[in-house]
């Protein structure tokens, strides 16, 4: 089996540089391009990249995907900012390149993927649920993609089970203390130095609560997911959201 040739976009950033090291160390993968904001993306073509890992920024990631799709390069995307509208835009772009796979991953941590799955399972059984995500203060978006995706999965599971809306008697919240609302689920974002990436899902019912929490204390925790995504994206043409399918959880 030939090696997969991999390019990393955003290669000098925190996640990009960690991905460069992980790809260089992974069996069956070959790092052929490490590109940052001041490098020409055409280096991917010169290097013959099969797959790109994108850890850039929401302002440039769509242009990167257009380039990859137009040139037959599979893409594993860890950049944030992919709401339903943006994912729909990617699906439309990808329809013109049916053999190319795009894997959009809100969180590459295996533990975070399992945390989301466990929350989805628990969601229909509790009257109340809220999500709290905690990250370092250099993170530019809030709520996190993981928290947004978690809330969406919880809402889908509750709707499928016929669970009613989450109770909340709040009628006055001029300062926004109740946080964001994603598909009817409250999501709260904390930003503090010393944190990396953490999330709690709080469930409540009469007489009991259930807390599902995941903590990433180092960016190395995301690398097994990045490597799995690189290895699996070529077998999944079109647009896939989340690592679930790659990990066999669907």
Would you please indicate which residues are annotated as catalytic (active-site) residues? 135, 139
- Angstrom distance (rounded) from CA 195 to CA 213: 14
Contact yes or no for 241/120 (Cβ under 8 A): no
Question: Residues 196, 134: contact at Cβ < 8 Å?
Answer: no
Contact 188, 131 (CB under 8 A): yes
Whether residue 47 contacts residue 32, with contact meaning beta carbons closer than 8 Å, is answered with yes
With residue 214 as reference, give the H or E element that holds it. strand 208-216
Check if the beta carbon of residue 36 is closer than 8 Å to that of residue 16.
yes
**Rounded Cα gap, residues 105 and 183, in angstroms:** 19
- The secondary structure element, H or E, covering residue 88 is helix 84-94
- Asked if 182 and 152 count as a contact pair (C-beta separation under 8 A), the reply is yes
């Amino acid at each position: 089996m030939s090696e997969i040739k991999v390019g990393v976009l955003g290669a000098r950033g925190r996640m990009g540089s960690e991905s460069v090291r992980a790809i260089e160390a992974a069996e069956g993968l070959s790092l052929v391009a490490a590109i940052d904001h001041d490098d020409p993306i055409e280096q991917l073509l010169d290097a013959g990249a099969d797959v790109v890992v994108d850890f850039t920024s929401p302002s440039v990631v769509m242009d990167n995907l257009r380039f990859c799709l137009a040139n037959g390069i599979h893409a594993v995307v860890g950049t944030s900012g992919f709401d339903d509208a943006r994912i729909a835009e990617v699906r439309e772009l990808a329809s013109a390149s049916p053999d190319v796979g795009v894997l959009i991953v809100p969180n590459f941590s295996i533990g975070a993927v399992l945390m989301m799955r466990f929350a989805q399972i628990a969601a229909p059984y509790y009257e109340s649920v809220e999500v709290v995500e905690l990250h370092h203060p250099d993170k530019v978006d809030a709520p996190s993609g993981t928290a947004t995706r978690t809330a969406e999965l919880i809402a889908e599971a509750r709707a499928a089970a016929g669970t009613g809306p989450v109770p909340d008697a709040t009628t006055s919240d001029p300062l926004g203390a109740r946080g964001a609302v994603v598909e009817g689920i409250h999501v709260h974002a904390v930003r503090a130095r010393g944190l990396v990436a953490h999330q709690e899902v709080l469930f409540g019912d009469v007489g009991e609560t259930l807390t599902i929490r995941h903590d990433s204390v180092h960016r190395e925790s995301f690398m097994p997911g990045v490597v799995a995504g690189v290895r699996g994206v070529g077998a999944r043409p079109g647009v896939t959201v989340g690592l679930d399918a790659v990990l066999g959880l669907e």
